[in-house]
Chains A and B, each alone.
Chain A
Amino acid sequence: MTTRGHSGPRLRWGATRLLVGYSAAGAALLMWEVIGRSSSTGLIPPVSVALGEAWAFVTGPRLVEDVLPSVLRILAGFILGSVLGAALGVVLGYFRSLEPWTRPLLEFLRAIPPPALLPIAVLVLGATNSMRVIVIGLGAFWPVLLSATDGTLRVDRGYLDVARVSGLSSGQALRRVVLPAAMPMIASGLRTALGIALVMMVISEMVAASSGLGFFILQSQRTYALADMFAGIIVLGVLGWFMTVGFVALERRLLAWYEGQKGR
Chain B
Amino acid sequence: MTGRTENLIEVTGLRKAYRSPSGQITQAIERLDFVQRPHEFVALVGPSGCGKTTLLRCLTGLSTPDEGTVLYDGEDVTGEVPSSVSVVFQEYNRSLFPWLTVLENVRFPFRNLPKQEGRDRAMQALKRVHLEDVPNAFPWQLSGGMQQRVAIARAIASEPRFLLMDEPFASVDAQTRLSLERMTLEIFHELELAVLLVTHDIDEAIFMADRVLVLSRRPSRIVREIEVRLDRPRDQVETRALEEFQNYRREIHGLIQGGSG
Contact = CB atoms under 8 A, between A and B. Distances in A.
A61 interface: no
A13 interface: no
A96 B141 CA distance: 33
Contact of B140 (A162, A164, A261): A261
A21 interface: no
A161 B97 CA distance: 12
Contacts of B95: 158-159, 161-162
Interface of A: 156-159, 161-162, 164-167, 176-177, 180-181, 183, 257-258, 260-261, 264
B235 to A, nearest CB: 33
Interface in B89-143: 89, 91, 94-95, 97-99, 108-109, 111, 138, 140-141
A156 B109 CA distance: 18
Interface of B: 60-62, 81, 83, 85-87, 89, 91, 94-95, 97-99, 108-109, 111, 138, 140-141, 158
Contacts, number: 55
A177 B83 CA distance: 20
A260 B83 CA distance: 34
Contact of B61 (A162, A164, A181): A164
Nearest to A160: B62
A162 B89 contact: yes
A158 B94 contact: yes
14 contacts: A159-B94, A161-B62, A162-B95, A162-B97, A164-B81, A165-B62, A167-B81, A181-B99, A257-B99, A258-B99, A260-B138, A260-B140, A261-B138, A264-B141
A177 B97 contact: yes
Contacts of A258: 98-99
A180 B86 CA distance: 23
Interface of A is mostly: helix
B12 to A, nearest CB: 22
Nearest to B94: A158
B62 A257 contact: no
Contacts of B108: 162, 166, 176
A207 B85 CA distance: 63
Contacts of B86: 165
A164 B82 CA distance: 11
A143 to B, nearest CB: 22
A177 B95 CA distance: 11
A167 B109 contact: yes
A260 B89 CA distance: 23
A8 B140 CA distance: 26
A167 B83 contact: yes
A159 B96 CA distance: 7
A180 B81 contact: no
Contacts of B158: 166
Q: Which of B83, B99, B138 has the most CB of A within 10 A?
A: B99
Nearest to B155: A165
Nearest to B85: A165
B83 A156 contact: no
- What are the nearest 5 A-B pairs in CB distance? A158-B94, A166-B109, A261-B140, A257-B99, A180-B99
A165 B94 CA distance: 14
Contact of B138 (A158, A162, A257): A257
Contacts of A161: 62, 87, 89, 95
B156 to A, nearest CB: 13
A154 B109 CA distance: 23
Contacts of B62: 161, 164-165
Contacts of B85: 165
B61 A165 contact: yes
Contacts of B81: 164-165, 167
Contacts of A158: 89, 91, 94-95
A264 to B, nearest CB: 6
Nearest to B92: A158
A167 B111 CA distance: 11
Contacts of A157: 94
B109 A261 contact: no
A6 B213 CA distance: 53
A56 B109 CA distance: 58
A156 B96 CA distance: 11
B98 A261 contact: yes
Contacts of B87: 161, 165
Contacts of A261: 98, 138, 140
Contacts of A257: 98-99, 138, 140
B138 A159 contact: no
A157 B57 CA distance: 13
A170 to B, nearest CB: 13
Nearest to B166: A161
